[in-house]
């Protein structure tokens, strides 16, 4: 789909907008400085040397030609040649050129080292920021676009910006030193060169802005491309893609997105290069105008041959330096636009997430939901409405209800992945908002339906449940025994050190039920937790394993609060409190016996399942 590029801001605003984007330059420089002071200083030194020496070389060039002419005249008159006055200049120029080469090598070596360091630093900044964001932010597609853009481009842009700043400085130094030489010829010559180069610069800046706009709009399409790449080339989706024969369809969609993007790129590139060529001709014209002028002055005897050589070299190099400076500036403009995106992402406000409480106002009160409602960002209907409940230490709560009735959402609110839209949730008498988020999460052990299958060692998959014991083998074994994972883990070739998943060499894949046992064991790792939440913990397990899991669960959870979500009524019936959730509201509540006696939805569903097993 083709979108028009919006009109640039009107007149004065356009200039402001242009210079406004340079506001990130100093931040990029600070970033580079913080990354490595010695490399930044080294870059600056080499830049200075590489900037000044070309003018020195041009000046020596003049001395050589004039010395040669003088020596020729001398030779004609006396028949003798004194070599040293000529050759010393040749020697000096060779020396200067060698130093320029050294400075340029130094520049490129230091740039490549800085690129590596800076790329790492910016990526870490992006990932660290990701750690402070809320789940709601990740689910917001606009925000996700920002993250994608930041990750794709921004890690190379800060160095690009700094390199261009240094190259600009280098060229500016060269230009200033050429200027010193040129001004003796005529200040007008400088003006002619500058005016010749300006149009190219303006057009470059305009097209850089357009390119950035394109890049920004494309984020959703680029994201879809990345997603399709993942679906088409990852082991966890390829099975289904193959069986349903989805490859041609998805690949075709992938191609079509590329074609649209390519069409836009092509148009922009063609316009950019055509204008660049036409306006560049002006610069060439200016150069040859100045060239002719110098030639005329030399023929009429105003300039020596040496001076002519020098001025021509200065014109040529000056023009190259000028157009390189202008390219740097428009490149800097482009890098700044990209960096603005990085900083937009890094400065994304983080919810004042954490309170400070590490204990509640009424220890031992347990969990209370007081008239809690919640609507997902951007959703029209609330996922939960008017939920009130109380769960004391040692108590067990089960949630039952149809798909999409809001059970998992309730857990997300309890674990503070989201905050209620209305009402409040209390733990030990204090609002969850007032709790220190780490202290709160230490108290909760949870497995979600869509738990993560880490492509790490088996043991680490368990250790993930308690970072303090991430590598504690004794604790792994204990948790695995409770989660019924110990048997199959010890049978694996590397035991607890076996690599899981297929991403890495020698990785073992597990069955659905085995993975679920790993996830359950992971929840058991969290020894400090007194709130245990299991969302469909045994859906993939065989009947014997399920029975064993719940026997253990009941035995170990006397002093804990447990919340269980299950569609299997046989596992739910033992809970002290059962909530039947329907459309985000509590439809029925009570223990198994009272709900059966009430003969409502629960009783009906229970009988339905019992019949199914008969």
Ligand X SMILES: Nc1ncnc2c1ncn2[C@@H]1O[C@H](COP(=O)(O)OP(=O)(O)OP(=O)(O)O)[C@@H](O)[C@H]1O
Between 393 and 423, CB nearer to ligand X: 423
Between 137 and 498, CB nearer to ligand X: 137
Tokens linked to 81: 């040649």
Between 221 and 408, CB nearer to ligand X: 408
Classified as helix, coil or strand, 607 is helix
Chain position carrying tokens 């120029």 = 93
Between 38 and 403, CB nearer to ligand X: 403
Q: How far is the CB of 526 from ligand X (least distance, A)?
A: 22
In 287-395, beta strands by DSSP E: 367-374, 384-391
Distance CA 101, CA 99 (A): 5
Query: What angle do helix axes 235-243 and 219-233 make, rounded to 10 degrees?
Result: 80
Q: How far is the CB of 139 from ligand X (least distance, A)?
A: 5
Using an 8 Å Cβ cutoff, are 567 and 536 in contact?
yes
Tokens linked to 133: 């964001």
Q: How far is the CB of 171 from ligand X (least distance, A)?
A: 52
Q: Give the residue ranges of DSSP H helices in 79-186.
A: 84-132, 135-139, 141-149, 157-182
Angstrom distances, CA of residue 286 to CA of 280, 315, 485: 10, 10, 79
Distance CA 346, CA 128 (A): 9
Distance CA 432, CA 470 (A): 27
Cβ–Cβ contacts within 10 Å for residue 397, how many? 22
Classified as helix, coil or strand, 429 is coil
Q: How far is the CB of 265 from ligand X (least distance, A)?
A: 34
Q: How far is the CB of 325 from ligand X (least distance, A)?
A: 50
Between 341 and 571, CB nearer to ligand X: 571
Strand partners, 577: 397
Q: How far is the CB of 369 from ligand X (least distance, A)?
A: 14
Distance CA 373, CA 407 (A): 13
Between 104 and 134, CB nearer to ligand X: 134
Binding site for ligand X (CB under 6 A): 139, 376, 379, 383, 401, 403-409, 449
Q: How far is the CB of 501 from ligand X (least distance, A)?
A: 24
DSSP codes of every residue in 233-253: H-HHHHHHHHHTT-HHHHHHH
Between 260 and 449, CB nearer to ligand X: 449
Q: How far is the CB of 409 from ligand X (least distance, A)?
A: 3
Distance CA 368, CA 397 (A): 12
Q: How far is the CB of 568 from ligand X (least distance, A)?
A: 12
């Amino acid at each position: 789909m083709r979108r028009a590029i919006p009109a640039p801001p009107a007149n004065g605003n356009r200039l402001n907008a242009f210079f406004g984007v340079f506001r990130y330059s100093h931040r990029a420089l600070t970033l580079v400085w913080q990354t490595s002071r010695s490399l930044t200083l080294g870059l600056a030194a080499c830049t200075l040397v590489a900037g000044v020496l070309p003018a020195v070389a041009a000046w020596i060039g003049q001395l050589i030609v004039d010395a040669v002419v003088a020596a020729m005249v001398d030779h004609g008159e006396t028949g003798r040649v004194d070599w040293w006055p000529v050759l010393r200049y040749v020697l000096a120029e060779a020396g200067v050129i060698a130093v320029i080469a050294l400075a340029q090598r130094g520049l490129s070596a230091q740039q490549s080292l800085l690129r590596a360091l800076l790329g790492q630093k910016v990526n870490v900044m992006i990932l660290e920021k990701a750690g402070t964001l809320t789940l709601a932010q990740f689910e917001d597609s606009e925000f996700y676009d920002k993250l994608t853009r930041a990750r794709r481009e921004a890690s190379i842009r800060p160095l690009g910006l700094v390199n261009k700043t240094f190259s600009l400085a280098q060229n500016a130094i060269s230009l200033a030193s050429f200027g010193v030489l040129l001004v003796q010829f005529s200040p007008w010559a400088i003006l002619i060169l500058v005016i010749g180069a300006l149009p190219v610069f303006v057009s470059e800046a305009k097209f850089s802005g357009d390119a950035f706009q394109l890049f920004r709009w494309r984020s959703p399409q680029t994201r879809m491309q990345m997603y399709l790449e993942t679906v088409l080339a990852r082991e966890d989706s390829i099975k289904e893609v193959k069986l349903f024969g989805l490859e041609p369809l998805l690949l075709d969609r992938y191609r079509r997105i590329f074609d649209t993007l390519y069409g836009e790129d092509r148009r922009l590139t063609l316009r950019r290069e055509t204008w660049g060529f036409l306006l560049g001709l002006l610069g060439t014209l200016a150069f040859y105008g100045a060239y002719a002028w110098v030639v005329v002055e030399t023929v009429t005897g105003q300039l020596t041959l040496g001076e002519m050589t020098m001025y021509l070299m200065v014109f040529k190099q000056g023009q190259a330096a000028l157009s390189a400076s202008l390219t740097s500036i428009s490149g800097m403009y482009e890098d700044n636009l990209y960096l603005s995106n990085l900083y937009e992402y890094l400065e994304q406000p983080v919810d004042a997430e954490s309170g400070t409480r590490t204990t509640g106002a009424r220890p031992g009160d347990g969990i209370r939901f007081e008239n809690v409602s919640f609507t997902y960002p951007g959703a029209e209907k609330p996922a939960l409405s008017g939920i009130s409940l109380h769960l004391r230490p040692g108590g067990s709560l089960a949630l039952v209800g149809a798909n999409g009735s809001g059970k998992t959402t309730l857990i997300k609110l309890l674990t503070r992945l989201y905050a209620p839209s209305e009402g409040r949730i209390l733990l030990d008498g204090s609002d969850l908002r007032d709790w220190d988020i780490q202290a709160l999460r230490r108290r909760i052990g949870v497995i979600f339906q869509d738990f993560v299958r880490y492509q790490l060692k088996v043991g680490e998959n368990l250790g993930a449940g308690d970072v303090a014991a991430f590598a504690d083998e004794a604790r792994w074994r204990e948790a695995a025994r409770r989660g019924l994972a110990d048997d199959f883990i010890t049978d694996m070739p590397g035991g607890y050190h076996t690599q899981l998943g297929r991403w890495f060499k020698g990785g073992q894949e597990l069955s659905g039920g085995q993975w679920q046992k790993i996830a359950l064991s992971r929840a058991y790792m969290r020894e400090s937790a007194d709130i245990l939440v299991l969302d469909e913990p045994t859906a993939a397990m065989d009947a014997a394993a399920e029975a064993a899991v719940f026997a253990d669960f009941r035995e170990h959870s006397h002093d804990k609060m447990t919340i269980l979500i299950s569609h299997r009524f046989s596992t739910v019936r033992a809970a002290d409190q059962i909530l039947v959730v329907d459309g985000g509201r509590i439809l029925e509540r009570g223990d198994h016996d009272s709900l059966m006696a009430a003969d409502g939805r629960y009783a009906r569903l229970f009988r339905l399942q019992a019949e199914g097993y008969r």
